[in-house]
Structure 1
Amino acid sequence: MADEKTAKLPRAVYERELLRLQTELVKLQEWVRADGARLVVVFEGRDAAGKGGTIKRLAEHLNPRVARTVALPKPTERERTQWYFQRYVKHLPTAGEIVLFDRSWYNRAGVEHVMGFCTKEEHQLFLRQCPVFERMLVEGGILLRKYWFSVSDAVQAERFRRRLADPTRRWKLSAMDLESITRWEAYSRAKDEMLVHTDISDAPWYIVESDDKKRARLNMMAHLLDSVPYHEVPPPVLELPPRPPSSGYERPPRGLQTYVPDHSANL
């Protein structure tokens, strides 16, 4: 029998707490906008660790003009010749913005290093420069939060199997993802080395146990909210104005426009 810590979270409990946290996240967003704060949240972890689902729930009720998700493709030929951090700097927030990095500059410490997409010298340079880079961000006033989603090999494999069988989620699975199965220990060593160099007091790593996706989402959101000194900003008082009387406008005949067919009528 599962103990209290690992017992399955009742759906009603999960949905109630998720809504409460999402409501607080809206308050956080309004504080960021009103205070001119800049918040960066980095989501890292193994493939199928639950990063994407957490970002989706976190941002579900936020204003996309305030809270942006950044998920960069592989670098272009031009970007490969730039300073490594350069392509990420241009996505950092300005005053009143939140940026959620769905993977980040830590690609160099993980997939690029393990798969041989960077040289050993480039990897070592990253480990030296990254703490300096992040201290500069923090000293410049950016609120930086870094989360590593930790998933076991058995749970990861099961999630991969479900993705293969689900046509709506198969796009999430790539040959690179499958390669991570055979390189599990290499990724583990890379992660351990990354933490040794980049788990600094100015920008610490926070580990999210994510074998249970629902618990991981709630735990991560609650921690983020607890870590930021936000407060509720009173919303502006708004009132719906009365609709003015008609001035004689008449809608054009429906036959002049092309309408979407009523697909639902045939269900």
Structure 2
Amino acid sequence: MGTSRSPRLPRGVYEAELRRLQTQLVAMQEWVQREKQRVVVVFEGRDAAGKGSTIKRVAEYLNPRVARIVALPAPTEREQTQWYFQRYVERLPAAGEIVLFDRSWYNRAGVERVMRFCTLAEYQRFLHQCPIFERLLIEDGILLRKYWFSVSDAEQERRFASRLGDPMRHWKLSGMDLESIKRWEDYSRAKDEMFVHTDIPESPWLVVEADDKRRARINMLSHLLDSIPFTPGTPPTIEIPPRPASRGYERPPRDVQTYVPDVATRLTADPQRS
């Protein structure tokens, strides 16, 4: 059922705090590189809960060579014959890296369970192995954080309807998303069962109330930064060198190169667009 919504976080407050937190994320990234740390952040939750937009804010100013987003498609025939966790292990970070999982191995406990894409035996094996798998990651020194984005049924439907009428986001609405409306309670039961088995002291689930996307992003980023024991370093002193004197280089004539059409100038010349 839908829940009452808190007042939406004002845009000015949100943008100022987001900027501050993103600055801290850059400092955390530098610490991860300097100290050769490995960070894994798992983003899970309902369809349209705001995971993707939050991941975008996390990664926006980070170095893509250091922080990468992993969003795996459906497994191939070969991958279906592998140990379930195998293809996720391949994407884990090396020293000095951050990996953001846009959905993760928890697909087995969610969509695969509800849609019967896996057998009952495979599902039960996952619930048994997952805590062991995560304890092994943590024991090896990986900093693992798991966030569950919680959205009400009413807000989820509102977001689906918004996507339907937006040509920029229409691609984000799939048949599987629509199926999740009809199977709301099935997904709720699957999530509850997943938490029973995988919400462990070493690797707890961290629930993000996500009916207000601005609040969700701020709360999630704040928690992540507070939970990672990083210490900001001293930025290196960088000086831009003076440009050396010309040694006679001449640029080739413009007419020997192919330029893209100057559409921008045509836009400003059109009085209806001014």
Q: If the length of structure 1 is used for normalisation, what is the TM-score?
A: 0.98
Say whether residues 1:222 and 2:227 are aligned partners. no
Q: Which residue number corresponds to residue 88 of structure 1?
A: 88
* Structure 2 Cα separation of the partners of residues 245 and 47 of structure 1: 58
Matches within 5 A, 1:87-126: 87-126=87-126
Kindly provide the amino acid, as one letter, of the partner of residue 206 in structure 1: L
Aligned-partner Cα distance in 2 for 1:163–1:30: 36
Give 1:9-28 correspondences, 5 Å limit. Answer: 9-28=9-28
Q: Secondary structure at the match of 1:69?
A: strand
1:245 paired with 2:218, answer no
Question: Contact 2:8/2:214 (CA < 8 Å) preserved in 1?
Answer: no
Secondary structure in 2 matching 1:98: strand
Distance in 2 of aligned mates of 1:256 and 1:204: 62
Question: Partners of 2:127 and 2:147 in 1: how far apart?
Answer: 17
Indicate the residue corresponding to 1:178 in structure 2: 178
> Partner of 1:43 in structure 2?
43
Which residue number in structure 2 is paired with residue 77 of structure 1? Answer: 77
SS state at 1:108 partner: helix
Q: Which residue of 2 aligns with 1:142?
A: 142
Deviation at 1:266, TM superposition (A): 1.8
CA–CA distance in 2 between the matches of 1:170 and 1:6?
27
3-state SS of the aligned residue for 2:109?
Answer: coil
Unpaired segments ≥5 residues, structure 1? none
User: How many equivalent residue pairs?
Assistant: 263
- Write out per-residue CA displacement over residues 25-77 of structure 1, whole angstroms, 9 at most, x where no aligned residue: 00000000000000000000000000000000111000000000000000000
Q: Counterparts of 1:266 and 1:158 in 2: how far apart (Å)?
A: 38
Q: How far apart, in 1, do the equivalents of 2:144 and 2:249 lie?
A: 53
* Matched AA of 1:12: G
Which residue identity is paired with 2:230? Y
Distance (Å, rounded) in 2 between the aligned partners of 1:223 and 1:144: 13
Correspondence for 2:272 = none
Gapped runs of 5+ residues in structure 2? Answer: 268-274
Question: Does the residue aligned with 1:112 lie in a helix, a strand or coil?
Answer: helix
Corresponding residue number in structure 1 for 2:263:
263
The separation in 2 between residues aligned to 1:176 and 1:11, in whole angstroms, is 32
SS of residue in 2 equivalent to 1:211: coil
CA distance in 2, matches of 1:260, 1:159: 38
Cα distance, 1:10 vs structure 2: 1.1
Name the structure 1 match of 2:165.
165
Q: Detail structure 1 runs of 4+ shifted over 3 Å in the superposition.
A: none
- Is the 2:127–2:197 Cα contact (8 Å) retained in structure 1? yes
AA matched with 2:250: E
Whole-angstrom CA distance in 2 between matches of 1:65 and 1:235: 19
Q: Which amino acid aligns with 1:239?
A: E
Shift of 1:242: 0.8
Aligned residues: CA RMSD: 0.7
Q: 1:102 offset after TM fit, Å?
A: 0.1
Is the CA contact 2:31–2:232 (under 8 Å) kept in the aligned structure 1?
yes
Deviation at 1:8, TM superposition (A): 2.0
Letter in 1 for 2:24: E
The structural deviation recorded for 1:159 is: 0.1
What is the rounded CA distance, in whole Å, between the counterparts of 1:201 and 1:10 in structure 2?
35
The answer to whether structure 1 residue 154 and structure 2 residue 159 are counterparts is no
What secondary structure, in the 3-state scheme, does the structure 2 residue paired with 1:238 have?
A: coil
Taking the aligned partners of 2:233 and 2:120, their CA distance within structure 1 comes to 48
Tell me the TM-score normalized by structure 2: 0.95
* Matched AA of 1:133: F
